[in-house]
Structure 1
Amino acid sequence: MVDWSGGNDTGPRPRKDAIWACIARGGRVEAPVYLRNRGAAEDWLSDLFAAEAAAGRRVLAGFDFPFGYPAGFAARLVGAPDPLALWDWFAARVQDAPGGNNRFDLAGEINAMFPGTGPFWANGLKRDIADLPRKDRRDGHGLPERRRCEAVAKGAFPCWQLAGAGAVGGQVIMGLPVLARLRRRFDAAAWPFEAWDTAPVVLVEVWPSLIADAVKAAMVEGEIKDAVQVQVLARALSALPPARLAALMDVDAAEEGWILGLGHEAELARAARPDPVPPALGNDCFALPAGVDWTSVDDALAQLRAGLHPVVASETLSSTEALGRVLAAAPVARRSNPPAPNSAVDGYGFAASAGAGTGPQVLPLVAGRAAAGAPFEGRVPEGHAIRILTGAILPEGVETVVLEEDVTADPDRIAFNGPVKPGANTRKAGEDVAEGATILAPGHRLRPQDLALLAALGVDRVAVHAPLRVGVLSTGDEIRPLGVAAGVGQIYDANRPMLLGLAARWGYAPVDLGHVPDDRAALRARLDAAAGEADVILTSGGASAGDEDHVSALLSEAGAMQTWRIAVKPGRPLALGLWQGVPVFGLPGNPVAAFVCSLVFARPAMGILSGEGWQVPRCFTVPAAFSKSKKPGRREYLRARLDENGHAEVFKSEGSGRISGLSWSEGLVEIGDGAREIAPGDPVRFLPYGAFGL
């Protein structure tokens, strides 16, 4: 979606009344793109259309200006009611440059072709233009004031007004030539004038005011409305099913054109508000290949990675509010960093040739200085220097800066020893990041340093995934909450606070689902409620095949249950299933096993579900500070930490009931599936808890 402009170049910094564009691709809306003039916009659109064609995708490109004029206008100019011939007529006559164009003069020439006072009005220039009135004093030209669609669209402006509030006339004159060139270059179809069903690019007329309330609801204080409305409109149209979009495009407006979605405002508004939601997981997402009994850790991880996809919606936030959120689309730099050539030091600036000489150099100083935020107005003459401070934009005529410590200065001149290298102590515009560059890949979780980068590049809004809601549920009659006396045979609930803490540390939204006793009806009711509160559910206990393992039993009844017997220690049984479409991880009841299985299996799986992607912990090879004889068959994870020599020592007991070992340790030593004899000094794989995001 493109918000167009008929005016001049608006400069490097994003601003209102400029050209803004936004892409919705594959159900996800990207950040709006600022385009400073029509030349930049045409280049950007051309690159986009070419890239999408190369990827085998079609493009619906919407522009917020009329594609046609009221009936009778085209025939007067091109001899037939052919709007596309009219596009070419304008393309042959419009003169356009970043600093100015001939739209007012051309409108005066067109007016002269009509009887009376021609249809165009509102001369926005200081000089008078023949046949173009400054005010609306037209009569006798014989054309309708509005197109048929503008009579239907409440608040739409006619295309004859060239300047002033609400004027779209200049946008049409300056926009149709661009559309004419894009249409021919990419074999695009202009809707509703041409058949569009199979065209690689379809050009359509849009009007964001059709969904003004949705735009207003999406606005954040300080945002540019033009940028927000193309994003909201892109989201609305991309959310429509193909059949509904085709129905909206089924109109008959051969000469004048039509506004896409006119008459369907309520439907567009509904589509604009909710963000696209990924499809539900299939019931077989956890299914193992037929005949599999025991599953290795590597095979289990591969199965999880292949069977899952993101389950969270996306939304657009102010960059300042997006800390810790996962990017749903790659932001695009709206300005360069640095935005302009500038000085890297405090010193004196001059042309490169002025500092090229060998030995003492003396240069006269110009009056004034250049400082950050206060650029020097004017040009520094050849052979002169200027006082310049760190971060100041290099004035015209300055290419090199010499450090003030290397200069002797008086009020009128400076002296230094040459030669000084051309470009010394300066920064080039965009040497860090150039305007229009893609930054930070989708799936990246935003950190404080990323917010600094986004701010420096003018990115004020980002598309992010909604936080993954992780529900945590404990089961079992033996479990007691803290603060309540525990009797004989009862234990305190250690798993739930641990799992909720893990979810929070990983940047998810923890949802405390409480504790349910060994009561199948009560557990069913709790899972039913949890399905509406969480995107994924972690349970502990009740995941095996005993009489009181109700989690496994209920998931089996639901028809979406798999028990994975994983060759891992501690752990082994892992119940995986779906409850009303929500993935459920049935973790072991033992806290040590629940902790290890969460790190090894649940964390990377939830990375995919959250849109962050598969998370692989980075390990280190260090010498062992222990001895161990391991049998083949299972992969083992030992609670460990590094001693003062950087050697891995392991907890005194491998018993999975020894919860204190979790607090004692700093990570895990991973010992592979095969047999292994480990002696002190032998290399082992150490995975610090930091590698798991803790």
Structure 2
Amino acid sequence: MSNLKHIPPSDPIYISGSLHVDQARIAISDLVKDLIAESHEGAESGAIECITLDQAINRILAKDLLSPIDVPVADNSAMDGFAFHGDCLGQSEDLISLKVIGTAFAGKPYEDSIAPGECIKIMTGALMPGDCDTVIPQEFIEPHSPIDDSIVSFKANRVKRGENRRLRGEDLQQGKPAITAGRLLRPSDLGLAASLGISELAVHRKLRVAILSSGDELRPLGHALEAGNIYDSNRYSLIGLLKRLDLEIIDCGIVRDDPASLKAAFIDAASKADVLISSGGVSAGEADFTKQIMQELGDVGFWKIAMRPGRPMAFGMLRPVDGSSRKTLFFGLPGNPVAVMVTFYQFVRSALLQLNGASQTEPPIMQAIAEAPIRKRPGRTEFQRAIVVRGPDGKPTVTLTGSQGAGILRSMSEANCFVILSHEQGNVAAGDWVDVALFDGLL
């Protein structure tokens, strides 16, 4: 397919079925970039919307958020202690004694003048009086027993002039970006916006993602299973994955394995959605009609990727059939339940975030120690389902969730991470460090 410029259809890698995971990611990212560029030329109205903070979690910021104020708004104390002017500091072990003439609280500043030899008691966050530039922490005050507690003493080398004072604008200056465009908004981002007095954010419109499952063997929940039937689990896995990204989901249900039904379903889904994700119908089986239909409807490549699980996958673009300029990104995922989730995590999730304007699309990778040996054949990338915990020595350790078959959905349900074994990597011994991708973020 011409748009996948890094992997043309005539390439021996493409034909042989040995497309590497990294090559597939590059090809997908390049096509998404092309689609973004085309959409910018056509600038769809309503692609950006303003929403309130309480609606903004997991949305993608569309414009830099500029701070309307300095943070902090004024010089203030970084800790509890006593504020004074640093001119009085002497050398090394000199003992400084100051008269305490008042107290400054957060939200209730001390407003009188402070003369040399005087200080005020000050709380964390309280405004620094103009006559003061230094704070000595409470714990550095020398023990003493004045009758009225009006004198504090401390050694001069306990503090340097200007210490323990937060300067106006040192965290963030007025007019500077507080959060840059492309951020997938987290709870801390909402808190930061609120601290600046901002109640609304400009975010990208939610992508509309259509999903469907194909296969004569599939039955919806609530129906009796006959010989050879199975319940359709893939749509529910995909719905959960897409809800984690807070996208608009169009559920197109189960489609039978016949060309007319599939073609009608694809045309209908593409007319409504920015992205279509199907599961099943991308292998070489006689009843897999997806390839035939895609040759009619779009520019789609059918890949066999050197990975486990999830070897067969289709990807590309559906052309508009209604005369509009809309193009729909298409992912044809395998039918096996685990393979659906693995290919979503490794390819679809990043593409959706990229298409929706996110600047960071790849999940972070950490390392952990394998608790037991892991069998691995060089020549493919493997994504083993596992549980990572902190060991007795404080180091992260990882254990596989039993059998790793592509149809064993329990291996995903029990896991909290993937162990990622690279293309050329072989067997892993107990005690080896391995790459791990966590499923969920904490914040």
User: TM over 0.5: same fold?
Assistant: yes
TM-superposed deviation, 1:675: 6.8
User: Would you say 1:585 and 2:331 are equivalent positions?
Assistant: yes
Going by fraction, where is strand more abundant, 1 or 2?
2
Cross-structure match for 1:620: 367
The CA deviation string for residues 269-306 of structure 1, in whole angstroms up to 9 with x for no partner, is xxxxxxxxxxxxx9825883242212111211111122
User: Would you say 1:359 and 2:98 are equivalent positions?
Assistant: no
8 Å contact from structure 2 (residues 368, 388) kept in 1? no
Cross-structure match for 1:469: 208
* Unpaired runs of at least 5, structure 1: 1-281
8 Å contact from structure 1 (residues 561, 578) kept in 2? yes
Q: Report the CA distance shift for 1:371/1:297 in structure 2 as closer, same or farther (over 3 A).
A: same
Cross-structure match for 1:544: 283
Aligned pairs for 1:323-338 (under 5 A) are 323-338=57-72
* Identical positions, percent: 35
The letter of the residue matching 2:186 is R
1:671 to 414, 421, 425: 421
Q: Report the CA distance shift for 1:683/1:451 in structure 2 as closer, same or farther (over 3 A).
A: closer
Cross-structure match for 2:192: 453
TM-superposed deviation, 1:650: 3.4
User: Would you say 1:305 and 2:24 are equivalent positions?
Assistant: no
Cross-structure match for 1:399: 133
TM-superposed deviation, 1:626: 2.2
2:407 to 652, 657, 669: 657
User: Would you say 1:635 and 2:359 are equivalent positions?
Assistant: no
8 Å contact from structure 2 (residues 282, 333) kept in 1? yes
How many residues are aligned here? Answer: 409
Q: Report the CA distance shift for 1:345/1:689 in structure 2 as closer, same or farther (over 3 A).
A: closer
The CA deviation string for residues 520-543 of structure 1, in whole angstroms up to 9 with x for no partner, is 333333333323443211110122
In structure 2, C-alpha distance between the alignment counterparts of 1:400 and 1:647, rounded to whole Å: 46
The CA deviation string for residues 27-52 of structure 1, in whole angstroms up to 9 with x for no partner, is xxxxxxxxxxxxxxxxxxxxxxxxxx
8 Å contact from structure 1 (residues 585, 602) kept in 2? yes
In structure 1, C-alpha distance between the alignment counterparts of 2:371 and 2:127, rounded to whole Å: 57
The CA deviation string for residues 93-119 of structure 1, in whole angstroms up to 9 with x for no partner, is xxxxxxxxxxxxxxxxxxxxxxxxxxx
8 Å contact from structure 1 (residues 338, 427) kept in 2? yes
TM-superposed deviation, 1:588: 0.5
Structure 1 length as normaliser, TM-score?
A: 0.53
The letter of the residue matching 2:48 is S
TM-superposed deviation, 1:680: 3.5
In structure 2, C-alpha distance between the alignment counterparts of 1:348 and 1:680, rounded to whole Å: 56
TM-superposed deviation, 1:473: 1.0
Cross-structure match for 1:609: 355
In structure 2, C-alpha distance between the alignment counterparts of 1:425 and 1:408, rounded to whole Å: 26
User: Would you say 1:370 and 2:107 are equivalent positions?
Assistant: no
Q: Report the CA distance shift for 1:308/1:385 in structure 2 as closer, same or farther (over 3 A).
A: same
In structure 1, C-alpha distance between the alignment counterparts of 2:271 and 2:166, rounded to whole Å: 53
Cross-structure match for 2:237: 498
TM-superposed deviation, 1:385: 3.1
In structure 1, C-alpha distance between the alignment counterparts of 2:146 and 2:272, rounded to whole Å: 70
The CA deviation string for residues 643-681 of structure 1, in whole angstroms up to 9 with x for no partner, is 867554435434322222222333333333337244444
8 Å contact from structure 1 (residues 625, 681) kept in 2? yes
The CA deviation string for residues 353-389 of structure 1, in whole angstroms up to 9 with x for no partner, is 2455833524362xx6533223344533344334433
The CA deviation string for residues 201-249 of structure 1, in whole angstroms up to 9 with x for no partner, is xxxxxxxxxxxxxxxxxxxxxxxxxxxxxxxxxxxxxxxxxxxxxxxxx
* Unpaired runs of at least 5, structure 2: 321-326
Q: Report the CA distance shift for 1:538/1:532 in structure 2 as closer, same or farther (over 3 A).
A: same
User: Would you say 1:430 and 2:169 are equivalent positions?
Assistant: yes
Using CA pairs below 8 Å that are at least 6 residues apart, which structure has the higher relative contact order? 2
TM-superposed deviation, 1:574: 0.9
In structure 1, C-alpha distance between the alignment counterparts of 2:349 and 2:162, rounded to whole Å: 49
Q: Report the CA distance shift for 1:678/1:434 in structure 2 as closer, same or farther (over 3 A).
A: same
Q: Report the CA distance shift for 1:593/1:286 in structure 2 as closer, same or farther (over 3 A).
A: farther
Q: Report the CA distance shift for 1:478/1:391 in structure 2 as closer, same or farther (over 3 A).
A: same
Structure 2 length as normaliser, TM-score?
A: 0.81
Aligned pairs for 1:260-275 (under 5 A) are none
The letter of the residue matching 1:670 is I
Going by fraction, where is helix more abundant, 1 or 2?
1
User: Would you say 1:522 and 2:261 are equivalent positions?
Assistant: yes
SS at match of 1:451: helix
The letter of the residue matching 1:659 is L
Which one has the largest radius of gyration?
Answer: 1
In structure 1, C-alpha distance between the alignment counterparts of 2:244 and 2:163, rounded to whole Å: 46
8 Å contact from structure 1 (residues 545, 552) kept in 2? no
Aligned pairs for 1:51-66 (under 5 A) are none
8 Å contact from structure 1 (residues 351, 398) kept in 2? yes
Please identify, of 585-594 and 449-458, the stretch whose mean Cα deviation from structure 2 is larger: 449-458
8 Å contact from structure 2 (residues 370, 429) kept in 1? no
Q: Report the CA distance shift for 1:479/1:332 in structure 2 as closer, same or farther (over 3 A).
A: same
In structure 1, C-alpha distance between the alignment counterparts of 2:430 and 2:154, rounded to whole Å: 63
Please identify, of 570-579 and 407-416, the stretch whose mean Cα deviation from structure 2 is larger: 407-416
8 Å contact from structure 1 (residues 337, 456) kept in 2? no
TM-superposed deviation, 1:514: 1.7
Please identify, of 498-507 and 425-434, the stretch whose mean Cα deviation from structure 2 is larger: 425-434
8 Å contact from structure 2 (residues 373, 430) kept in 1? yes
The letter of the residue matching 2:172 is V
SS at match of 1:361: strand
8 Å contact from structure 2 (residues 401, 414) kept in 1? yes
Q: Report the CA distance shift for 1:381/1:362 in structure 2 as closer, same or farther (over 3 A).
A: closer
User: Would you say 1:314 and 2:48 are equivalent positions?
Assistant: yes
SS at match of 1:435: coil
In structure 2, C-alpha distance between the alignment counterparts of 1:652 and 1:435, rounded to whole Å: 54
The letter of the residue matching 1:298 is D
